[in-house]
Amino acid sequence: MESWRPRPGAAPLTVPLAVYGGRADVVVSPDRLAGWEEHAARFQGLHLFDGGHFYFQDDPAPLLRLVTRHATAALRAPAAVRPS
């Protein structure tokens, strides 16, 4: 998603979107990650972990548990209404 840019005036994404990152990431800062909220109608939050850009490499289990929880919640939620 590094180079994605919304079209001017584009509606927010209608899919559930959760954002994950490292608190000490110098490549993609938490402030930059927080910007995704304005592009998602069903934002599931910004979730930060200790570490840098590859925060998940030492122990991926906490990230995988959270991704599983968010995906499960998204699948159980009523489908979003498509913009007309």
Q: What pLDDT band is residue 2 in, cutting at 50, 70 and 90? A: low
The DSSP call for residue 14 is E
**pLDDT tens string 7-64:** 888 999 999 999 999 999 999 999 999 999 999 999 999 999 999 999 999 999 999 9
**Higher-confidence position of 81 and 22:** 22
pTM check: above 0.85: no
